[in-house]
A and B are shown apart, each in its own frame.
Chain A
Amino acid sequence: MTRQTRTIVFGITCIVAIALPIAYVAFTRRAAPASASTAYVPLTRIKPGERGVLFRSTVPDESFGKVAFVPLAHPESRWLLSNLACDRVYFQHGRGVCEALDSTLLPPYAVFVFDDRFVPGEKRPLAGVPSRARISPDGRYAALTVFQSGHSYAETGFSTATTIHDAATGGALANLEVFKVSREGQEFSAIDFNFWGVTFANDGNRFFATLRTAGVNYLVEGDVAQRSARVIHVGVECPSLSPNNQRIAFKKRISGSTTVFWQIAVLDLQTNKETMVDWEKRSVDDQVDWLDDDEVVYHLPKSEGADIWAVSVDRAEPPRVLIAGGYSPSVVR
């Protein structure tokens, strides 16, 4: 090839490189399904005492990405749809928290709290990809977990950051990494401490969370006011405290050579006995939430979006779809 030919070929390559994304966008936009409008009822308020499930919609229509609500009394009824777009959402005692992708920030993630009328508070930057969100039953605190990727060019490792926030304003109060942690009465600390998956007790101050260090996942019981926590169990990820505060449902990592499998399990806090909920045979990668003291809910991905499922932790009955097309369930009691 002469120099001239090469330059021409390069020019053509550049034109193709510019045309390709434009053509792709044009093509996929045309191929997008016409939004089948299902006339949602606007969600303007969750009244005190109203029971239901708040979640994120993954249905590819106008509801996509928005927060919706289904009353527990009529789970089949038409969704109530809010204007808030969230990736993770949680609501308790008249206060909600929303973690969302926000392209105006860098890194592009934000968090804000909202009230029972879905009026959002101040938007604050998040340090990583939203992973978990919880609000204490008394509506005092919010707990957030985000994933942070390795900061160096050569690293692929991920770490988590878990912070406690004031649920009224959304302002950060503390990172769990500053909490004093003990194990068997001894002070316990390491640089590779990673916390995730907070669940609050009914008093709003006591909490449980996963602590990972040196490849081991511990269950810690913590105290927000004291800024302290102690290890109480091993092998627990994403704990979720039952409404009567007696049991913890969690995802248990079943070791596999190449794949990771998470089985729902339940830990009785009185007897310290673990029960596997192995009638849910699929891997559940979510922080489950309790529908009541018997059933837990969680999302499972499907080819397009996700569904919210419910399963009893005591009765070996097959799991059921609670909300088709839902994601990030938050049981409102």
Chain B
Amino acid sequence: MYQAEPATTRASVTELLTLRGLHISANVWFLGLTSLFTDISSEMVSSILPAYLVLQLGLSPMLFGAVDGLYQGIGSLVRWIGGAAADRSSRHKELAAFGYGISTLCRIGMLMAGSAWTAVTALVALDRIGKGFRTAPRDALISLSSSRSDLGAAFGIHRALDAVGALLGPLLAFAVLAQSPRAFDQVFVVSFAVAIVGLACILLFVENVRSQQVAAPRFAAASLLGPLRQREFQIVLAVASVLAVATISDAFVYLLLQRSAHFGPQLFPLLAATTAISYVLLAVPAGRVADRVGRGRVFILGHVTLLGVYAMLWLSNGAVFPIAVCVLLLGSYYAMTDGVLAAATTAILAPEVRGAGLAFLGTAVSLSRLTASVLFGWTWTRHGPTVALSVFASALIVGILAAGTYRIQFESSRP
């Protein structure tokens, strides 16, 4: 896909795996730790929520399906408010901490909600609102705390710590349950305690960064829609959305693997964990490579990796090897796209519109993914998994080629 100069490649090999030569702000580390602890806390609860609802409260989790669409809408709106508020006040830390605080309160709320399922539903929704609200201010602060040349590495570190939390959460929850079966209340208490530590990380150690040019008071519309008028941002938004529409969701990837291999669904957690581990290990190196060779290139290369995932799904005959390669590639795809996209976006946005810009991007990508899931499910239903896979692979190839033609503009994000 790209040709790096040999000298650059040789120099980076040793540096990639270490953090040598990097200037990573304490903010990035502590925001990463905040995400790590918060993710442990939230994944603890979400991994046992079905069991809690069904076995402890005697409820049917089908109750939750109905409000899912509502979450999407509320999530987008709240994300936008969080981003815009960060841009206008430049109090990113307080806004992000507010979002983390909401989620922390939800943990203790679970303990008090007891058997009132309406309260449990409300808490799940409120937790999501907290998550939606904090994302844009936090990512904007990561970018403002990092030098332009290290954005990929900074987001890589944050995403790796975040993913470690998501890995550890379910393990900690099941460890608590193994100690005292049915002690769901103890899981909530431990989850609350872990969330407090995360909240302390951001409140005590993260500091706001004043951007050089003090944002003059603007019209609301100017700061909210400002990023949309920037051509480079339009390209990133379009490229990310188009590629996301051609992305098969994890759930379907695992389902396709399961169909090919006929293994029991109890192996799903293993697939998800392997994906996450490869993501954790590759997030920082991918970010560093992106900083060197261009974030647009790595982002597109990440989607070439996704094409590799599709190819393995195609070839998969149920043997262990293609399945392992498939989930490792899936983790690499995440490593090359998630943090890298945030880095690419923030690099081209002026500091005072980063929050709103990130919110737009987040909404566009999540809507595209939703569209992709609906389309994939529909195609599978009508024409079978093979046709669905071919359609998505073709769409991804077209998307990659289209993104490649825009690479020149995308690459202007290069330091």
Give A contacts to B, CB under 8 Å.
1, 6, 9-10, 13-14, 16-18, 20-21, 24-25, 28, 65, 87, 101, 103-109, 125-131, 147-158, 161, 189-192, 258-260, 285, 299, 301, 303, 306, 327
Contact = CB atoms under 8 A, between A and B. Distances in A.
A296 to B, nearest CB: 17
Given A17-B194, A125-B264, A191-B381, A158 B64 contact: yes
A126 B266 contact: yes
A154 B63 contact: no
B12 to A, nearest CB: 30
A101 B182 contact: yes
Contact of A103 (B181, B185, B249, B251): B181
A106 B269 contact: yes
B366 interface: yes
Contact of A127 (B186, B193, B204, B266): B266
Nearest to A3: B205
B71 A21 contact: no
B348 interface: no
Contact of B266 (A125, A130, A147): A125
Given A10-B200, A17-B196, A103-B174, A299 B185 contact: no
A108 B51 contact: yes
A6 B30 CA distance: 13
Interface string B56-99: 01111111111010010000000000000000000000000000
B115 interface: yes
A197 B63 CA distance: 16
A147 B54 contact: yes
21 contacts: A9-B200, A9-B204, A13-B200, A20-B193, A101-B51, A101-B181, A125-B264, A126-B266, A127-B266, A128-B265, A147-B61, A148-B268, A151-B268, A152-B250, A152-B251, A153-B250, A157-B68, A158-B50, A158-B64, A258-B118, A285-B59
Contact of B58 (A101, A149, A259, A327): A327
A151 B250 contact: yes
A155 B54 CA distance: 18
Nearest to A105: B266
Nearest to A158: B61
B277 interface: no
Contact of A131 (B49, B60, B124, B254): B60
B295 interface: no
Interface residues of B, number: 57
A101 B54 CA distance: 11
Contacts of B59: 285, 301
B189 interface: yes
B360 interface: no
A65 B51 CA distance: 15
A17 B50 CA distance: 26
A158 B65 contact: yes
A133 B71 CA distance: 32
A10 B50 contact: no
B192 interface: yes
Contact of A129 (B51, B177, B200): B51
B166 interface: yes
A148 B62 CA distance: 11
Given A152-B249, A189-B381, A161 B265 contact: yes
Interface string B118-140: 10000010000000000000000
A212 to B, nearest CB: 9
Nearest to B178: A103
Nearest to B175: A103
B176 to A, nearest CB: 8
Contacts of B49: 149
